[in-house]
DNA sequence: AAAACCCACAACCGCGATCGG
DNA sequence: GCCGATCGCGGTTGTGGGTTT
């Protein structure tokens, strides 16, 4: 593919823009919109490449941009989203009105990353350094999989991963009253956050009316799907499942001793502990795909009453969901040689890779356009 | 006062994705 | 369907102002 010649080759101006150049860009945009940035500098009387002008406009001159410091709420959201989806700055920035991906990226690189490090938290894994070091003591060998998550997502995109409508619909129906849209790239669902608050805390308390937290809420909801699917409820989640009637109040359940601070959803002050990801590396129950699938949407009566669907429809949703989860995991295992056995037997790195891929499957619909045609 | 260092953030680069003829 | 042009994204670098020595 032919690349656009660099500014160097065309002897165009580089470096910081002057006020005069900004004015020309703004004047051009107001007159011609932003239909063609390649011809823009010439028409605007600028000796810069179109890309440079576009970036200047996108990252600095847009009228809706905020130029003041990040608030603690924004800070919190960035960290939480980074913990959930990594350095997808564009996606994160979409949840922060008036901020660009460049803003968020710079803020992360200059402030938040260091802040987390100073707190003893690894900004990449969002786990305490001490734990990482401890885990490294258990390294027994290198992972067999060499593909990383970036290529993995593309592999998944082209893999035979079908039945989108069933996947999204069924996953959506698994929690009564929780409006989690797993299919659309547009992630803003105004009612999600209150529902999640209610769900996680057992009551509806004062809500942060910042709708940008909806993505986070949905990520959390999706993570709940993961948690439920892998049958590793911890003590913070599980009581709420029972309290809210999502699980039968029958037998006592085993629960991990680890806390999942990610699920705490305070609307005001936050603790840095909140940004620690749950420790999935500790020995836990095996991923009992088949078992937990059968018991997952257990409170069928409640779900049916809530959603007005028949038992047969619900069973179909459940089985479709199971089928698609199995398909996705099967693709992952085939393409990436991922071991789905007990994480307790894996090395730290293997477990990390497995965990990332597992998360990817659940977040796939957030990160990508629908894969199906 | 000046050099060295630090920091924030604007700008650039290169790549993959998408568009459109 | 092909291919060049353009866009969007994430990683990295450059620049300028502030602080420290």
Nucleotide C7 C1' to residue A51 CA (A)? 9
Residue A253 φ/ψ, nearest 5 degrees: -115, 150
A127 forms bridges with which residues in the sheet?
A122
Residue at shortest CA–C1' distance from B8: A110
For residue A182, what pLDDT is reported? 33
Q: How far apart, in whole angstroms, are the C-alpha atoms of residue A366 and residue A125? A: 20
Residue A254 φ/ψ, nearest 5 degrees: -75, 140
Chain centroid to CA A135: how far? 24
A182 forms bridges with which residues in the sheet?
none
A256 forms bridges with which residues in the sheet?
A234
- Phi-psi category of residue A213: left, alpha or beta, with phi > 0 → left and psi -120 to 50 → alpha: alpha
**Which positions of chain A have pLDDT values less than 50?**
1-6, 140-212, 225-268, 280-311, 314-315, 317-319, 321-323, 325-350, 352-353, 356, 363-373
3-class DSSP state for residue A256? strand
The set of residues with CB closer than 7 Å to nucleic strand C is: A 1-4, 15-16, 34-39, 50-51, 54, 87-91, 101-102, 105-106, 109
The nucleotide whose C1' lies nearest the CA of A85 is: C10
3-class DSSP state for residue A45? coil
pTM, 2 dp: 0.54
Nucleotide C4 C1' to residue A4 CA (A)? 10
Residues with Cβ < 8 Å from A224, sequence gap 6 or more?
A: A175, A237, A263
Nucleotide C20 C1' to residue A103 CA (A)? 28
Q: Could you say which nucleotides of strand C lie within 7 A of any protein CB atom?
A: 4-12, 14-16
- Phi-psi category of residue A220: left, alpha or beta, with phi > 0 → left and psi -120 to 50 → alpha: alpha
For residue A49, what pLDDT is reported? 85
């Amino acid at each position: 593919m032919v690349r656009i010649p660099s500014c160097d080759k065309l002897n165009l101006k580089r470096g910081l823009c002057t006020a005069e150049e900004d004015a020309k860009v703004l004047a051009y945009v107001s007159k011609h919109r932003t239909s063609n940035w390649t011809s823009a500098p010439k028409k605007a009387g600028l000796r810069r490449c179109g890309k440079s002008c576009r970036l200047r406009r996108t990252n600095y001159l847009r009228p809706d941009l905020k130029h003041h410091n990040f608030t603690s709420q924004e800070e919190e959201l960035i960290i939480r989203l980074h913990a959930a989806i990594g350095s997808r700055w564009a996606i994160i920035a979409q949840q922060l009105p008036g901020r660009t991906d460049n803003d968020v990226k710079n803020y992360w690189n200059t402030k938040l990353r260091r802040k987390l490090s100073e707190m003893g938290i690894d900004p990449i894994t969002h786990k305490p350094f001490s734990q990482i070091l401890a885990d490294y003591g258990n390294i027994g060998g290198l992972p067999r999989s060499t593909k990383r998550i970036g290529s993995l997502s593309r592999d998944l995109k082209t893999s035979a991963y079908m039945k989108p409508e069933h996947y999204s619909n069924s996953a959506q129906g698994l929690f009564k009253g929780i409006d989690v849209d797993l299919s659309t790239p547009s992630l803003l669902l105004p009612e999600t956050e209150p529902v999640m608050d209610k769900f996680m805390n057992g009551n509806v308390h004062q809500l942060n009316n910042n709708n940008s937290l909806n993505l986070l809420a949905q990520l959390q909801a999706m993570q709940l799907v993961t948690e439920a699917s892998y049958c590793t409820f911890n003590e913070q989640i599980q009581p709420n499942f029972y309290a809210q009637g999502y699980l039968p109040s029958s037998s006592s359940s085993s629960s991990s001793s680890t806390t999942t601070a990610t699920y705490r959803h305070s609307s005001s002050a936050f603790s840095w502990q909140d940004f620690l990801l749950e420790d999935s590396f500790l020995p836990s129950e095996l991923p009992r795909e088949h078992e937990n699938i059968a018991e997952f949407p257990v409170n069928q009566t409640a779900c049916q009453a809530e959603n007005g669907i028949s038992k047969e429809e619900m069973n179909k949703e459940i089985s479709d969901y199971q089928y698609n989860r199995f398909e996705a995991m099967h693709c992952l295992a085939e393409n990436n040689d991922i071991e789905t056995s007990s994480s307790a037997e894996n090395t730290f790195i293997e477990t990390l890779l497995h965990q990332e891929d597992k998360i990817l499957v659940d977040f796939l619909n957030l990160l990508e356009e629908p894969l199906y045609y």
